[in-house]
């Protein structure tokens, strides 16, 4: 049906469309920022210009549909339908389906993965987990790497001899999976003024009078940019794909330095955002703190507009002990209050139970079970208290480069694959 109009006006048309087609048209037009009436007008022109016969569409049970079209557009559609000997409803359905096919869903905006490794309790192994994740992501895709099976990744693999773990380390090895390295471009940020990450990787800390991440966040540094701080880790295993922003002791004053910023929770993002296009993953090794600087890290890891859930978020290393559980509750309170205050969503990438050894007794094993019983965030890996990580630190190398076949490296690769 067509409602008459005055010359030059659009005319209202009423017909029927399958409900699914009408809904797809509505959603796609909104995604592309196109008025539905313009989309239908384009659809009719495209269909009439298509010489081949298109696959018939089931229009049974079509629902009422209306729009405004330029004068004569509907008449042109009716004439072409008559020429092709198909019903008007079928011609309209084919037109809309053709437009949908030729105007696909716009690609989702690509966001670099931002992994915020945090816990306000010190000594839980945040730095080891952050460096391990970064190294596992940057390993060359031309390498064959060993990854612990999902079952082994959740076992207490630091406690050989415990009831729930194989008696022989070789039996654990039989659970390995062989994969190519991920080969991702990674930026690892030492956000902790103590500089453990920088020291563990054998890099020099930034001098107190030199440009630093904290100074750029505070807006007090006018020389150069944060890009000048980036150091590439010199290790063939990473092929130049693993970069580091070293620590500077001035970050001890970060909370004071950014406290007067009008939008202080966004200070870390303002500094790192210009680098994001250069990387696939950015890993932030956070300090054991619940201050303003930690707020900035949490905000940086929030889910951005149109970002896929779980693309970025917080990864929380913990230990199987009561004090770690208490600290975890304080961190959750900070994250939850930040979400409410800033009206954002922060995804939990998971928990990593670190430095675990079942031989330490019932308190440890029962704490692990308590962590595993949590539904959100869930445990995505258990890393044993083994010597390889300590040796890697002593030798100033990343774990996956120093001992690529050790059990800790295999589990950390499994964790990396869980979050990227």
Return the pLDDT at 46.
93
Return the pLDDT at 150.
66
How far, in Å, CA of 125 to CA of 304, rounded? 28
Return the pLDDT at 79.
94
CATH code assigned to 113-419: 3.40.50.300
Do 120 and 327 meet the contact criterion of CB atoms below 8 Å apart?
yes
Return the pLDDT at 154.
63
Mean pLDDT within 166-180: 56
Q: Is the pLDDT of residue 281 over 80?
A: yes
Say which range, 57-61, 180-184, 268-272, 404-408, has the weakest mean pLDDT.
57-61
Instruction: Give first-to-last CA distance, the chain, whole Å.
Output: 53
- 381: phi then psi, degrees, rounded to nearest 5: 180, 150
Element (H, E) at 116: strand 113-117
Parse the chain into domains and list their residue ranges: 2-102, 113-419
How far, in Å, CA of 412 to CA of 182, rounded? 13
How far, in Å, CA of 416 to CA of 132, rounded? 8
- The token duo for 123 is 């000594």
How far, in Å, CA of 324 to CA of 284, rounded? 20
Q: Is the dihedral of CA 124, 335, 282, 138 positive or negative?
A: positive
Q: Is the pLDDT of residue 3 over 70?
A: no
How are beta strands 63-69 and 11-17 bridged, if at all?
Answer: antiparallel
Burial class (CB in 10 A: 0-12, 13-18, 19+), 340: exposed
Q: Which residues of 249-281 are buried (b: 16+ CB within 10 A; e: fewer)?
A: ebbbebbebbeebeebbbbbbbbbeebbeebbb
CA distances from 186 to 68, 139, 376 (A): 51, 10, 27
Strand partners, 63: 17
Do 393 and 132 meet the contact criterion of CB atoms below 8 Å apart?
no
pTM reported for the whole predicted model: 0.72
3-state secondary structure of 311: coil
Return the pLDDT at 229.
96
The DSSP result for 148-174, as a single string, is --HHHHTS-TT-TTSTTS-SSHHHHHT
- The token duo for 39 is 């989309």
What tens digit of pLDDT does each residue of 364-389 get?
788 788 878 887 888 898 888 888 88
What tens digit of pLDDT does each residue of 315-353 get?
999 887 777 778 888 999 999 999 999 999 999 999 998
Place of tokens 């956070």: 286
Element (H, E) at 128: helix 126-138
């Amino acid at each position: 049906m067509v409602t008459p109009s005055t010359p030059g006006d659009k005319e209202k048309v009423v017909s029927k469309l399958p409900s699914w087609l009408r809904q797809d048209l509505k959603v796609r037009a909104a995604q592309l920022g196109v008025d539905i009436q313009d989309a239908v007008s384009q659809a009719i022109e495209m269909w009439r210009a298509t010489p081949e016969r298109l696959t018939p569409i089931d229009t049974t049970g079509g629902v009422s549909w209306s729009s405004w079209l330029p004068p004569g557009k509907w008449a042109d559609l009716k004439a072409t339908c008559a020429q092709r000997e198909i019903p008007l409803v079928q011609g309209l359905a084919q037109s809309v389906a053709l437009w949908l096919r030729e105007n696909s869903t716009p690609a989702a905006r690509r966001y670099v993965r931002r992994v915020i490794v945090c816990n306000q309790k010190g000594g839980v192994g945040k730095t080891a987990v952050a460096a391990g994740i970064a190294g596992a992501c940057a390993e060359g895709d031309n390498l064959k790497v060993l990854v612990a099976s999902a079952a082994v990744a959740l076992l207490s693999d630091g406690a050989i001899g415990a009831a729930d773990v194989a008696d022989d380390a070789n039996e654990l090895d039989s659970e390995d999976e062989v994969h190519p390295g991920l080969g991702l471009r990674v930026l690892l940020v030492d956000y902790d003024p103590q500089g453990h990450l920088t020291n563990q990787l054998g890099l020099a800390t930034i001098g107190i009078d030199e440009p630093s991440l904290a100074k750029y966040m505070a807006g007090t540094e006018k020389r150069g940019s944060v890009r000048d701080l980036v150091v590439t880790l010199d290790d063939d295993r990473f092929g130049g794909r693993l970069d580091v922003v070293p620590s500077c002791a001035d970050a001890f004053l970060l909370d004071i330095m950014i406290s007067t910023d009008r939008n202080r929770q966004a200070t870390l993002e303002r500094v790192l955002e210009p680098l994001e296009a250069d990387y696939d993953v950015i890993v932030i090794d956070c300090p054991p703190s619940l201050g303003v600087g930690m707020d900035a890290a949490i905000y940086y890891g929030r889910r951005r507009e149109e970002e896929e859930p779980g693309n970025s978020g917080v990864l929380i290393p913990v230990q199987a002990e009561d004090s770690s559980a208490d600290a975890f509750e304080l961190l959750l309170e900070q994250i939850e209050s930040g979400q409410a205050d800033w009206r954002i969503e922060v995804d939990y990438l998971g928990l990593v139970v670190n430095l675990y050894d079942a031989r330490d007794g019932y308190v440890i094993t029962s704490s692990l079970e308590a962590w595993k019983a949590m539904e959100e965030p869930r445990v995505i890996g258990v890393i044993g208290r083994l010597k390889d990580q300590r040796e890697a630190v002593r030798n100033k190398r990343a774990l996956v480069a120093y001992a690529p076949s050790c059990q800790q490296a295999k589990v950390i690769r499994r964790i990396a694959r869980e979050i990227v």
